[in-house]
C-alpha cells in the first residue's frame, strides 16, 4: 500500500485527508506519527509559499510524498490581515479568542458592507525529484460584530456566510466540510492528482 504523509499535527485536518486517500487504497500518516520531526519555520509571505515550504522540507526529510496546507483569514478593511499570521495574530501563542477580540477591536465602527472577508487555503503536494504542485480554495463572507455559534474553531464564530444565513460556527461539521476553503482545495486536489500504485511502461 502506498503511503502519503500529511504535514500536520491537527487531527481534524488529518481526518479530511484520510477520507480521500483511504478510498484510493492509500495509507495516511501525519506528523503525529513522526514525533522527532521539528516544526518547519513558515517564512513565506503567502499561504501557498508556506504550504510549499512545509511540504518540500518534510518530503526531502522522509523521501516520501507529502501534502501540506496553509490557511487563514483575509479581511479587506484590514488590508488583508491577519493573513498568514491568522493563527497567532494576537501573539505568539495560538489563542482563538484573543485573535477574534483583536480583529473585532480593529473593525470597530466599520460598517457591515465594508467588513468583507474570506478564508483561504493552499495545499502543496511535494515528492522528491518532482515539481511541487499546489491547489487553492476560498470561502467568501464577512465579519460579524459579535460571536455566533459554538462549532468549529479559529475565526468561525465571527465569519458570516451570506448564502447560509449563518456564521461558520453555526454550521454542522458535515455542512462546513462541504463549503469550506479547505474542502474546496481538497476537491481540486482529488480531481487533478493521480493516486495509487504506478505501473511501469
Strands 166-167 and 159-161 turn out to be: antiparallel
The answer to whether the beta carbons of residues 72 and 86 sit under 8 Å apart is yes
Contact at 8 Å (CB) between 140 and 128?
Answer: no
The yes-or-no answer on residue 39 being catalytic is no
Please tell me the distance from the alpha carbon of residue 197 to that of residue 1, in angstroms, as a whole number. Answer: 8
CA–CA gap between residue 151 and residue 92 (Å, rounded):
24
**Position of cell 479559529?**
154
User: How far is 86 from 11, CA to CA, in rounded Å?
Assistant: 19
Treating both helix axes as pointing N-terminal to C-terminal, what angle do 181-192 and 11-22 enclose, rounded to 10 degrees?
30
Which of 70, 76, 156, 175 is catalytic? The answer is 70
Q: Are 154 and 163 in contact (CB under 8 A)?
A: no
Sign of the C-alpha dihedral computed for residues 7, 10, 177 and 113 taken in this order: negative
Catalytic residue positions, numbered: 70
Amino acid at each position: 500500500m502506498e503511503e502519503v504523509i500529511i504535514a500536520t499535527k491537527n487531527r481534524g485536518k488529518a481526518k479530511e485527508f484520510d477520507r480521500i486517500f483511504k478510498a484510493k487504497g492509500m495509507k495516511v500518516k501525519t506528523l503525529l506519527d513522526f514525533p522527532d520531526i521539528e516544526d518547519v519555520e513558515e517564512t513565506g509571505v503567502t499561504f501557498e509559499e508556506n504550504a510549499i515550504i512545509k511540504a518540500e522540507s518534510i518530503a526531502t526529510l522522509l523521501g516520501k510524498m507529502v501534502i501540506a496546507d496553509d490557511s487563514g483569514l483575509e479581511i479587506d478593511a484590514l488590508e488583508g490581515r491577519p493573513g498568514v499570521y491568522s493563527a497567532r495574530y494576537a501573539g505568539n501563542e495560538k489563542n482563538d479568542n484573543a485573535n477574534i477580540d483583536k480583529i473585532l477591536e480593529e473593525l470597530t465602527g466599520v460598517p457591515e458592507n465594508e467588513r468583507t472577508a474570506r478564508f483561504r487555503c493552499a495545499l502543496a503536494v511535494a515528492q522528491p525529484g518532482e515539481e511541487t504542485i499546489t491547489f487553492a480554495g476560498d470561502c467568501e463572507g464577512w465579519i460579524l460584530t459579535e460571536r455566533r455559534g459554538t462549532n468549529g474553531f479559529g475565526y468561525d464564530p465571527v465569519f458570516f456566510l451570506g448564502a447560509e444565513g449563518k456564521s461558520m460556527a453555526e454550521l454542522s461539521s458535515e455542512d462546513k466540510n462541504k463549503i469550506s476553503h479547505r474542502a474546496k482545495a481538497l476537491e481540486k486536489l482529488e480531481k487533478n492528482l493521480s493516486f495509487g500504485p504506478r505501473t511501469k511502461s
